[in-house]
Structure 1
Amino acid sequence: MPRIKLHKLAAVIVLAATAGWILTGEFSSVGSAIPGSDTPPVEDDKVAIETPLRTVAVVVPPRTMHSRTIRVSGTTEANKHTRLAARVGGIVSELPVAKGSPVDAGDLIMRLDAEGKVAAVDMAKAMLAQREAEAKAAERLAKSGNMAKLRLDGAQTALAQARSQLEAADAELARNEVRAPFAGLVDRVAVEKGSAILQGAEIATVLSLDPILAVGQVSEHDLAELEIGNTATVRLVDGTSLEGTLRYISREAAPQTRTFRVEIAIANPRLEIPAGMTAEISLRADMVQSVFLPRSVVTLSETGDLGVRIVTPQDLVDFVPIDLIDDTPQGLVLGGIPDDARIIVAGQDLVKTGDAVNAVEADAETVKRLVGQLAGPVN
């Protein structure tokens, strides 16, 4: 029997092993799994990426007491203003005043020609003297029993009539005169000496300018903030700044504008401030607790309300509506902000209510600027 060569025997063995491996079917899983691996398959869904918190600068501003300022436009007016008229007709015989003349209460402004009224007064005085003498004589006779009581009563009645006639004559004579009803300034004289006037004709205009009044109209929203005695600053059109006191608040609104008249009394001893000047009135109400902030801090909420954004103790953004107390050249004076509120002063327009943020204290320069501006408003 012929002998099989070694290489042929090795080929037969390899062929048999290959055929056996193919018959097991394990070739289809090559590379599809790694034994002992715990790595989960990668899903096709969106992978969640954590967003870093936005950093905002916050500050707790110092608080101060500040009075709410209500600004209105107005004009100056005389404290008293009257047009004097003639009570009877006649010829002007005396006119001792001129335009611009100062007068005291009771000073003569004009006198008409008496035309016999002085004689009527003199006659009434003489009649009164006679009736007084007759009444005294009748009283003596009545006491001694030499005159009946009825005649005494007649004498006393005649005396009363004489007194009444004198009072009527004096009153008629007084109608010829026009006198100043109060101390002030004669602003206008409408007659001339020697001219004839009728009853009711205008004689002169007298103004009382001390105190002078600054008069304006406040809205119904500001009415509750004002009280009689509040201080006010009045700036005239020529730049003059004056201090005054609120002395009157109307309790009835103007029907067209729904505003209320207010009057501020200002001392004017030299009568330098005339009536009718344009004035800007700044009324100061009672003092309230407030904070002073730059205008850039104020922002709008999602609903359009004006306010500031703050950071809560949980580092969440919240919105606080503000109460505008005063608007000064240096910034805004605001009320309605909670105590110890951390107000966002940088980044407030990049966040919204409910956002979680990384709140950091504002830099020293920002804090210094806020504290420096706090000295700006005048309480």
Structure 2
Amino acid sequence: MTIKRIMMFILVIAVSINFIACSETEGEENKSAEKRAVSVEVKTMEGISFSDYINVVGVVNANQSANVSFEGTGGQLKAVKKDKGSFVKEGEVVLEIENDILKANYNAAKAQYDLAQMTFEKQEQIFKENVNSEFQYLQSKYQRDQAKAGYDLAKTSYEKSFVKAPFDGFINQRFFDVGEFAAPGVPLFQIIDDNSLKIIAGIPERYADDVKLNQNVEIFFPELDLGKIEGKISFISKALNPDNRTFEVEIRISNKNRSIKPEMLAELKIFTRTYDNVVVVPEDVVAKIDDGYVVYTVSDGKAVQKKVDIIKRTNGQVAISNGLVSGEKVITVGYQNIVEGENVNIVN
């Protein structure tokens, strides 16, 4: 064997040994890569009912509130029967206007009417007995009716001097003092019925198709320790406010302990729609891609990218309608650097 052949033989053996060594190294690296896995935490999905809602702020108003004025021709305020802070029943006298002349006119008209009524009854009786003429009978009837009209007018004028409560409620303000002149139509006092209240709120016009009568509303008063109060929408305005492009809604609530005051602010959660059997995930696990949104799930120890359709984002949660089903495991921790098909190790 020549030296040249010996050298060729040695070279072939060296190359073969190097190839075998490289192959073994690559195999070990591949096995190591296959064994390497990213530690993640997951949440198993469950189909639940999810309610969509609108958050707005409303203002409390009394269900009934009135500034009551004097209906007569005017007069001095004679007496205050019920003052500020007093509870009154419907028809109860609150203020009395000077009425001595009205009372005298009333008494005179009543006496005249009583006499005319008595005269008519006598004339009617003797007319039936054919003692007097029909003319005398009709004349007495006319005089009775005329006296009755005068009596009714005097009675009404006198009764109007007693200014009464138009409904049950509290006297909230009194605008006149005794001795001051009360002109017709000028408010004398304010009465408020705060046993039942209404909350008025403006809803942006983009929600016009979502808000309906009798929808459930959760009500919170930041300044009161009342917790959650439930109500329903009782009124929806037919027109927008052109200044702020909102439409008005009303929610009626009870106020039996009278802790809620008119003009207070209320935080409202108006429930517009309920979705059944949807999946809800933390908002930060949903990633934006060019043509939509994705989350990562785990299947057979590998990360799987799932495209999803979002219904609503609220309070750090996302409701999903398509792409996930109950029982799937969504990666909630460790998803940031995961790629499709990567090995994962669930640690929770």
* Alignment TM class, shorter chain as reference: 0.7 to 0.9
Residue 117 (structure 1) shift: 0.8
Given the alignment of the two structures, is residue 234 of structure 1 paired with residue 222 of structure 2, yes or no? Answer: no
2:119 aligned partner: 134
Name the count of aligned residue pairs: 302
When residues 185 and 333 of structure 1 are mapped into structure 2, their CA distance, relative to the original with a 3 A threshold, is: farther
When residues 348 and 251 of structure 1 are mapped into structure 2, their CA distance, relative to the original with a 3 A threshold, is: farther
TM superposition score normalised by structure 2: 0.75
Q: Is the 8 A contact 1:57 1:360 kept in 2?
A: no
Q: State the Cα deviation string for residues 14-72 of structure 1 (Å, max 9, x = none).
A: xxxxxxxxxxxxxxxxxxxxxxxxxxxxxxxxxxxxxx9x9999876211113222210
1:85 aligned partner: 69
Given the alignment of the two structures, is residue 198 of structure 1 paired with residue 183 of structure 2, yes or no? Answer: yes
Residue 166 (structure 1) shift: 1.1
Deviates more, 1:151-160 or 1:201-210: 151-160
1:261 aligned partner: 248
Deviates more, 1:230-239 or 1:104-113: 230-239
Given the alignment of the two structures, is residue 322 of structure 1 paired with residue 310 of structure 2, yes or no? Answer: yes
Picking from 110, 114, 123, the partner of 2:108 is 123
1:166 aligned partner: 151
When residues 291 and 317 of structure 1 are mapped into structure 2, their CA distance, relative to the original with a 3 A threshold, is: closer
Superposed, 1:1-379 pairs within 5 Å as 61-87=45-71, 88-240=73-225, 241-246=227-232, 247-289=234-276, 290-302=278-290, 307-309=293-295, 319-324=307-312, 327-328=314-315, 331-337=316-322, 340=325, 345=331, 357-358=340-341, 363=346, 365=348
Residue 169 (structure 1) shift: 0.6
When residues 237 and 344 of structure 1 are mapped into structure 2, their CA distance, relative to the original with a 3 A threshold, is: closer
Query: 1 CA distance for matches of 2:160 and 2:284?
Result: 70
Q: Which has the larger radius of gyration?
A: 1
Query: 1 CA distance for matches of 2:82 and 2:294?
Result: 64
Which 5+ residue runs of structure 1 have no aligned equivalent?
Answer: 1-51, 366-379
Residue 95 (structure 1) shift: 0.6
Query: 1 CA distance for matches of 2:110 and 2:136?
Result: 23
Higher strand share: 2
Aligned AA (2:230): G
Which 5+ residue runs of structure 2 have no aligned equivalent?
Answer: 1-33
Aligned AA (1:263): E
Query: 2 CA distance for matches of 1:169 and 1:361?
Result: 96
Query: 2 CA distance for matches of 1:224 and 1:121?
Result: 60
Residue 97 (structure 1) shift: 1.9
TM superposition score normalised by structure 1: 0.69
Query: 1 CA distance for matches of 2:244 and 2:154?
Result: 52
SS at match of 2:179: coil
Higher relative contact order (CA 8 A, sep 6+): 2
Among all aligned residue pairs of Structure 1 and Structure 2, give the percentage whose two residues are the same amino acid. Answer: 19
1:10 aligned partner: none
Aligned AA (2:116): R
Query: 2 CA distance for matches of 1:216 and 1:286?
Result: 19
SS at match of 2:122: helix
1:371 aligned partner: none
Aligned AA (2:85): G
Query: 2 CA distance for matches of 1:308 and 1:105?
Result: 64
Q: Is the 8 A contact 2:47 2:325 kept in 1?
A: no
Query: 1 CA distance for matches of 2:280 and 2:237?
Result: 33
Residue 113 (structure 1) shift: 0.8
